[in-house]
Structure 1
C-alpha cells in the first residue's frame, strides 16, 4: 500500500488540475454512476495520510472527491485531449477531463463524492499527518507523540501503523524507523523514547517529498536495492554490523501484525 510520502507526491502531481474546469467526468463506480462534474472548477488536491481529497466548486456547491489507492489503485495524468491506451481504460474507475490535463483513476478501490463540509466522515478518524502543510511541524510532532505515549503497552510497530494514532506511516517507514532508533519492532511503546522517533519520522518523510529530491531513502544510498536498512531484506546481512536480518510474516486478518524485518544485534 502506498505510504504517506507517495500520496503527498501524487497530490502534487494532481496539482496540474488546480484552476482548471472539468469538461467531462465519467464515474465508473455504481454509487456515482450518474454523477456529472461538468463545469466544476478544480480547487486543488490535498493529501491526508494515505487519502486524497480533490476539492471542487460546482456552481457554488463545494464538493470533494475522496480517493484511496489501497494496494492497487493508481492515478494517471495525461495531457489535454489525450487518453490512455484502450487496453488500460478497462481499469478506469473515473475519468476527469479538464481544460488542462486529464486525470484517470485506475483500479481505484475507493472513489467517493461528498460535500466538502463532510470530509471528516472519511478522514476525521485519522491521527496527525506529519506531512500536513497547514500545521506547524512541532505541533504535529507533539500530537503524534501524545497519541503514542497514551498506548504504552502496545508494540511499537503496531502503534506506528495505526492510522488513528499517526497517519501516513506504512510498513517501509515503521521498519526503517525501528532500525534507525535501535528498537526491536515489538518493543512496548512505553519503553521507547517516543518524541525523538517521531521527530525522525517527520524529518525523513519531509526529506522524501522534496521536489527533485531522491524520494524515500533511509541509508543515504539511492542505488537500486540500497535504499533501505532492513525492509524487504530477509536473511541478508545488516548494513551496519553484518548480522543476518530476521523476518516475521504478517498474520492474516490481523492488522496488528505485518511483515517485519529487524537486526537482532542493532535493535534491542
Structure 2
C-alpha cells in the first residue's frame, strides 16, 4: 500500500483503513513500513506499507519500528528511521483526504449523491479521465449497475470492503443473477471516499488499467450507512457483454 500527504502515522493508517481495510485486518503476518519526507515535493510525506506471509521469515526490526511509529504523533525524525520493507502482496495507491473534504457533513454528502444520481456523476468522472488519455467514453449498463448495487449494499451492511459477497457470491454469480453474460469483466470496490472525484482518484491510482481499458460498459454502486466504519461504500463493475446496450 502507498499513500502521500498524511502528516502523521495515525492519519496514514486511517487512510489505509478506509481504502484497504481488508489488507490491514487480514492474516498477513509480516509488514514492512517505509517513509520519506521531502519538503520540495507536492505531498511532502510519502508512505509505503508492504505486507506478506513468507516461509522462513521472523519478526525483525520492521515490526519494532512500526510499533514505535504508531506511538508517534508527529513526523519529527521519521525520515531518519531505518524502516525495512518486505515482499508486497498488494498495492493500493491513494492520497489522503483534504481538510475541506474532511470537514464536509457525511449526511449532506450522502443526500447530495443520492439526489443528483451518483451513477451519472461517476460515469462523467470516469469518462473525463478517459478523455484525458484520448480514450472512448464508456456507458452505463443497467444490469451491471444492479449487480454493483447488490455488492455495495452487502459491503455496507456487513461493514466490509470486498468483491466477495457475505453469502459467498462473486462478480460472475451476481452477473448471472442479472442475466448478463460477459466476455471480459472486472470489479472495483472502495470505502470511505466522500465523493465521486475521491473514489475515482483512488481507483485511478490503484486500478487504472481497468478504468483505462477497453471495457465498454460500467455499473456503479453506492451505499451510505453512517452507523458503519467507512460510511461510504462504492462498487464499480466493468465489462464487455454481447447483446447489451447503454442505459
Larger Rg: 1
Answer whether TM exceeds 0.5 for this pair. Answer: no
| TM-score for both structures, normalised by structure 2 | 0.34
Q: Which structure's relative contact order is higher, taking Cα pairs within 8 Å and 6+ residues apart?
A: 2
Bigger helix fraction: 2
| TM-score for both structures, normalised by structure 1 | 0.32
